[in-house]
Amino acid sequence: MWLFGRKGLREGARPALSRGGAGVALGEWPRSYGAQVREAYAGNAIAQRAVKLVAESVAGAPVVASVPDMMALLAARSGGQVLLEAVAAQLLLHGNAYVQVLRGAGEGAEGQVGALYALRPERVSVEVDAGGWPTAYRYAVGERRVRLDAEGPRPDVIHIRSFNPIDDHYGMGCLGAAAGAVAVHNAAGKWNKALLDNAARPSGALVYDPGDGAALSAEQFERLKAEMEAGFAGATNAGRPMLLEGGLKWQALSLSPADMDFVGLKAAAAREIALAFGVPPMLLGLPGDATYANYREANRALWRLTVLPLAGTILTALAQGLGGWFEGAALSVDLDHVPALAEDRERLWRSVSGADFLSVEEKRQMLGVGA
């Protein structure tokens, strides 16, 4: 079984975009990926929780395998992390996941799979042949470069990628779509923090009204500014009385209703972030969202629309990549053991069982339980 589907294809049968010759332009992941992860994942609670919710759900899905040894590979930790969770998070954030197939150790172990390891996707680049087909992957860590073979029935790397309409070799993650909402949400949080540091209001203005027409000197202005920042700015100085002298008077200011709309703007940005990662806002505790009737319905939508499609993509690619080691390799989610889908499966079993016009084999096939 060939990972990229090249076996048995004639040159003319390949997709047109892959016949461009040696000059095929390769897409690059934006160099700001690390900055986007720090901004959107490490620095934003909504995006981080959305990614963790989906990735942990994929890792916790009940998986069935045609070969028992494949289950052991999935259950093992990849560099201290759960393999399926790491792969799912990488697909959401980067759009690409690269799973290295490590050979077993010991005598006669060259033909066995020892472990599966999820590589850092931003460190991997695709190497193509003259026809534009991937032949190898280069993994870079500092000054070290490792070439990993992608050809043959037993490749060194299994490349799993999301759909990208503008690139033949690299997938497209959700960070780009969520970047604008993340920037708005983070900026609104900083605004709120600054507002709290200044007694939760835009404070006011000191108006100088000299009786003799003399203006403040530059030295007097700087001294007054420094005294105001040291003695009255910050949350610890909120409500502190002020002593004015020399023609100074205090003019209080307030926010208009339009200026206060940043609270609604932050909530809208949070919902947009959740939408980008395919998570119903209700599951993230966002107020004012009534799209789903209850939490159970929202959880069912998460599994149906996000978790199961992502898990299916990952498991199908892993089974295809491991087909050279395990004959008839197949991986899938056992829908009958997903708690969020228990009611749906119960209705399906009830309706199929009551269909008298179907044979027993047809019923079993519809339920996916085999012959």
pLDDT in tens, 226-246: 766 665 565 555 555 555 555
Digit-coded pLDDT (tens) for 239-284: 555 555 556 666 665 666 555 566 778 888 899 999 999 999 888 8
Asked whether residue 128 falls in the same domain as residue 244, the answer is no
Q: Residues 116-137: what's their mean pLDDT? A: 89
48 lies in the same domain as 110? yes
| Residue 348 predicted with pLDDT over 50 | yes
How much of the chain, in percent, has pLDDT values that exceed 70?
Answer: 70
pLDDT digits (tens, 9 = 90+) for 40-88: 899 899 999 999 999 999 999 999 998 888 988 888 776 678 899 999 9
273 found inside a domain: no
Residue 128 lies in a domain: yes
pLDDT tier at 306, thresholds 50, 70, 90: very high
At residue 89 the predicted structure's pLDDT band, cuts being 50, 70 and 90, is: very high
Decide which of 199 and 151 is more confident.
151
Range of the domain at 95: 11-175
User: Is there a single domain that holds both residue 149 and residue 26?
Assistant: yes
Residues 213 and 171 in one domain: no
pLDDT of residue 322: 92
Boundary (domain end) residue, out of 175, 193, 222: 175
Q: Is residue 192 part of a domain?
A: no
Same domain, 103 and 216: no
Evaluate whether residue 288 is within a structural domain: no
Does residue 160 sit in the same domain as residue 207? Answer: no
pTM score:
0.74
Last residue of a domain, one of 132, 156, 175: 175
Residues 113, 25 within the same domain:
yes
Asked if residue 325 has pLDDT above 50, the reply is yes
Q: Do 145 and 225 reside in the same domain of the chain?
A: no
Per-residue pLDDT, 199? 55
Q: Are residues 157 and 117 in the same domain?
A: yes
Same domain assignment for residues 165 and 215: no
- Domain membership flag for residue 327: no
**What is the 3-state secondary structure of the chain?**
CCCCCCCCCCHHHCCHHHCCHHHCCCCCCCCCHHHHHHHHHHCCHHHHHHHHHHHHHHHHCCEEECCHHHHHHHHCEECCEEHHHHHHHHHHHCCEEEEEEEECCCCCCCCCEEEEEEECHHHEEEEECCCCCEEEEEEEECCEEEEEECCCCCCCEEEEECCCCCCCCCCCCCHHHHHHHHHHHHHHHHHHHHHHHCCCCCCEEEEECCCCCCCCCHHHHHHHHHHHHHHCCCHHHCCCCCCCCCCEEEEECCCCCCHHHHHHHHHHHHHHHHHHCCCCHHHHCCCCCCCCCCHHHHHHHHHHHHHHHHHHHHHHHHHHHCCCCCCCCCEEECHHHCHHHHHHHHHHHHHHHCCCCCCHHHHHHHHCCCC
Confidence check: pLDDT of 298 > 80? yes
Q: Is residue 92 one of the residues assigned to a domain?
A: yes
Domain-embedded: residue 188? no
The pLDDT, as a whole number, for residue 131 is 82
Same domain flag for 77 and 27: yes
What total of structural domains would you count in the chain? 3
The pLDDT of 287-312, averaged and rounded, is 84
pLDDT higher at 75 or 16: 75
Domain endpoint, select from 214, 229, 253: 253
Residue 107 has pLDDT above 70, yes or no: no
Confidence at 114, pLDDT banded by 50, 70, 90: confident
pLDDT at 284: 86
In this predicted structure, the answer to whether residue 10 has a pLDDT above a threshold of 80 is no
Q: Mean pLDDT over residues 155-180, rounded?
A: 90
Residues 36 and 77 in one domain: yes
Q: Is 99 a domain residue? A: yes
Looking at residue 113, what is its pLDDT?
Answer: 86
Q: Mean pLDDT check: name the lowest of 15-24, 54-63, 336-345.
A: 15-24
